[in-house]
Amino acid sequence: MTAKPHAELRDLYHFGEERQRAVRLLGAIGVVGLLLGVIFSLFEAEGLRRFAFTYLVSYTYFLSLGLGALCLVLVSHLTRAGWNVVWRRLAEILGATLPCWALMFLPILGFLLFGGGMLFHWNDPEIVRNDPLIQEKVPYLNAGFFTVRAAIYLAVWAWLGSYYYRNSRLQDRSGDKELTLRMQKWSGPALILYGFTVTFASFDWMMSLDAHWFSTIFGIYFFGGAVMGAIAALILAAQFLQHRGLLKESITVEHYHDLGKLLFGFVFFWGYIAFSQYMLIWYANIPEETQWFLVRQTGGWLGISLILLVGHFLLPFAGLMSRHVRRNRMLLAGWSAWLLVMHWLDLYWLIMPQLSKGAGPSFGLVDLCCLIGLGCLYASTVLWATGDHALIAVRDPRLAESLAFKNL
Amino acid sequence: MTQAQDPQITPQTKVIGLLAEFDSPDALLAAAERVRGAGYLKTDAFSPFPIHGMDEAMGIRPTGLPWLALLVGMFGGLAGLFGELWANSIDYPIMVSGKPFFSLPATIPVSFELTILGAGVATFLGMLVLNGLPRLANPLFRKPGFLRATTDRFFLMIEATDPKFDLAPTRSLLESLQPLGVEACEADTSPSPMPKFVLPVLVLMGCMALIPPALIARARVTKSEKPRFDTFPDMDYTPGYKAQAPAPTNLFADRRASRPPVPGTVPRGSLQDDDRLYRGIDPDQQTAMRLSSQTGTMLTSTSGPAEEAAEEEEIAEEDAPDAAPDPTDPEDTADAPMAAEDDEPQPAWVTSFPLPVTRELMVRGRQRYDIYCSACHGLGGDGSGLVSRRALELEQGTWIPPLSLHVDSVLEQPVGQLYHTVTHGVRSMPGYGDQLIVEDRWAIVLYIRALQRSRNASPADVPSDLLETLRDL
């Protein structure tokens, strides 16, 4: 037992009236943005194909925030963590967007089922006929099995996201400690499911864009970026709420300090995994594997790769190393925003070079509309999932411990 | 002050601090805050586990340990980088799989591990040093009951070296914090001479520790006629059989470790009964030739046995002593055996390819030729390969330039003979039979034929659509 917690919740923890309006407004902007993106794409050289790719970038970006948050929720239950109860509800809300976000996968499925090889070139019968390597992969890479797998991933995430949010809210009303134990009991199996689904989803949705290329570490790479993005999003969300006068005293500099440590850790984890992936391929120097990096090291993509190396790893690693930075709200928020941008760039770098090999990076109206559109829809989803529920797990048995949490 | 048991040694004790005992971490935390508030700086707290907020309560400031870890970690990383730079690219440059001598990705794992090692070791050792550890004896451990600090008791000590320390007021301060008890902690400062036996034992142990190194040192500088001592004889002399060596056991009567094939059997893939394909010889004509040559031998007894090539060569050299006066002269040695070979009766070489001539075979032949042959014979087959040119530049005198493939003597050779040459070599050219499979050897022969024809091609040989482009050139 540590020192007995002696803090009590004294904060505002409900959104006001304006939430409803924001949900509708953001949703409307999102739909308009997406429609504009489709219209603009018709005037582009690549047509709808460009929209499909850029939609996939934005989709996986916001999906990864929900997935990363879900992982944080599962891990905090698995480890019986007490310190993070004050912000766990925020992660639960991000995870609760996953059912909605499963619906947002439908356009991608549409591109697959009705667009032939528009998005996934292994779905183009013409390409497969002339490609013995893809022919070997057809038993796995075919539209039917792909759809079944995607349905499984999305169903698992939607179920996990809503299960943990629902039970946590039930506890808000009943204060039943059994709920905590039940959520803890299922967190282990849930994490196993989570690991498999996230790995294979990243294989299916991003790695298979180049059906020749393979990297067994790819799933962890995506996972590392996703958790980092989720932590950054949580830091910003908490600061946003505090700015609006909610949870003002519950989340203290001590919690930010630990979130900063996690952020720092996952910045390095991402770099470690990214380098592990790169080095093995670089060292073995097998054309089948190196061609993926070759595309990203030629022309304008080299610049993006270097920006990722510096901006996604070296700079934030050095910047977040000091505890003074991690205990400074403004600096921590700055790094979080920076890393959220880098995380988007990372997914852009994973997906967009497959749009047209040899062409450099480009960011146009289509990409902007799609990013803003999906971003607004995501924000709308988050606020909708928040509902009128408490923004903090008000009757969690470890809440008092979390409120009194100190790093030293 | 305790009563002296032994009148000869008077124990001298000194109060080193006051120790207060508490039963909960909260009480300890509150007490530490109060004591600090009272102005005491040299305090210490003991608890079975880390207590959050304790550092703050006691006023412990952050140490320089993170900086030490950072510095030593960076030093480790740089040492890793420099070590690899020095070893792989300066002191002993080795090209590994075509990478540059110093390539950053390859050095990162080692540098990374050394960074972690440096930071880890610096943190551990720095922590020990900053905490004044290791300490052989701590007077606190003599306090009965203090050991409960590792299970369920919490202690706060105010050290006597604190400038504000004064036995009575400090004790009353501690007692005001509702402890379970306050005790003075005393250190035994009486002189305690070392027992007499310690020094001789230490010296003796030191001397004994020198024996093994001394034995090793002696063994390294003396010579012995005796056979080596086998620690593990069954590992030094294994019963396993080694190729081309006598078997160490009598399992086989002839004690050969490498066993010949069972008589009357052929290993898989070794039948090679197609003479045309595997040896480039037409068996029907060969039989006919042998019959006629035997007849010829019977008729003209002047010529020696035709099959003995060695004898033939000797005869050839004897016949033309002027042509080869100096066997070290490269040009002459190149010519002499050729002259001998001309006299040699040739087997019945096949004159057509024993496998289908396809475009794939030609492409394969070109690729194999460029890999295996062009180094000496040149890409065009005129003997201007890089190896040959370099060897001639060095002018060492032992190099025999390869024959141009476009001279008449080669042009006239049937494909079977070219195949034989690729397989077994000729004159100073080594055979490539061990490196090239049969089909590839034929592919090379096919490509040589194409090269030869290219030197004597007519416009009719060129496809009509390509002819136009040639004219433009």
Q: What is the DSSP string of A228-294?
A: HHHHHHHHHHHHHHHHTTSSTTTS-HHHHHHHHHHHHHHHHHHHHHHHHHHHHHHHH--HHHHHHHH
pLDDT digits (tens, 9 = 90+) for A134-180: 999 999 999 999 999 999 999 999 999 999 999 999 998 888 899 99
Does residue A375 form part of some domain? yes
pLDDT at position B429 over 60? yes
Contact call for A279 and B105, based on CB within 8 A: yes
Between the alpha carbon of residue A370 and those of residues A145, A187, A324, B131, the distances in Å are: 28, 34, 37, 58
Instruction: Say yes or no for a CB contact (<8 Å) between B52 and A3.
Output: yes
**Contacts of A169 by beta carbon, 8 Å cutoff, 6+ apart:** A389, A390
Give me the pLDDT at residue B1, please: 43
Burial class of residue A97, CB neighbours in 10 A (0-12, 13-18, 19+):
buried
Distance in Å, alpha carbon of B70 to nearest chain A alpha carbon: 10
Q: Which residue of A has its CA nearest to B59?
A: A408
**Residue A234, domain member (yes or no):** yes
Residue at A408 is within a domain: no
ipTM: 0.81
**For A313, which DSSP code?**
I
- Mean pLDDT on B47-73: 88
Mean pLDDT in residue range B130-152: 85
Q: Does B54 touch chain A (CB under 8 A)?
A: yes
Residue A1 lies inside a defined structural domain of this protein: no
What's the pLDDT at A162? 95
Domain range for residue A189? 6-403
Q: Highest mean pLDDT range out of A88-97, A358-367, B226-235?
A: A88-97
Residue A381 identity: T
Q: How many structural domains does chain A have?
A: 1
Name the pLDDT band for B296 (thresholds 50, 70, 90). low
A285 touches chain B (CB under 8 A): yes
Mean pLDDT score, A103-107 = 94
Q: Is A200 part of a structural domain of the chain?
A: yes
The whole-number pLDDT of residue A408 equals 66
Q: pLDDT-derived band of residue A14, with 50, 70 and 90 as boundaries?
A: confident
pLDDT for the residue B295: 66
pLDDT value of residue A78: 95
The share of chain B scoring above pLDDT 90, in percent, equals 29
Alpha-carbon dihedral sign for residues B441, B442, B448, B454: negative
Q: Which of A4, A275, A407 sits opposite B108 (nearest CB)?
A: A275
Nearest to B141 by CA among B128, B129, B132, B150: B150
- Signed CA dihedral, A188, A189, A191, A192: sign only: positive
Q: Which residues of A touch B106 (CB under 8 A)?
A: 279, 283
- Distance (Å, whole) CA B367 – CA B444: 9
Q: Do B52 and A321 touch (CB under 8 A)?
A: no
Cα dist from A110 to A115, A141, A156, whole Å? 7, 16, 21
Name the residue of chain B whose CA is nearest to A6's CA: B26
Between these two residues, B198 and B472, which has the higher pLDDT value? Answer: B198
Contact B105 A407 (CB under 8 A): no
Q: Using 50, 70 and 90 to split pLDDT, how confident is the model at A202?
A: very high
Angle at B269 between CA B268 and CA B275, to 5 degrees: 135
Q: Decide if A196 is inside a domain.
A: yes
**Which tokens go with B276?**
């045309």
Helix (H/G/I), strand (E/B), else coil: A5: coil
Asked whether residue A97 is domain-assigned, the answer is yes
Flag whether residue A405 sits within 8 Å of chain B, measured between CB atoms. yes
Q: What pLDDT does B344 receive?
A: 62
A3–B25 CB contact, under 8 Å: yes
* Number of cross-chain residue pairs from A and B with Cβ atoms under 8 Å apart: 38
Residues of chain B with pLDDT > 70, as a percent, come to 86
- Would you place residue B67 in the very low, low, confident or very high pLDDT band (cuts 50, 70, 90)? very high
Q: Tell me, yes or no, whether A361 lies in a domain.
A: yes
Closest-CA residue of chain A to B105: A279
Asked if A321 reaches chain B (Cβ–Cβ under 8 Å), the answer is: yes
Query: What is the pLDDT at residue B326?
Result: 42
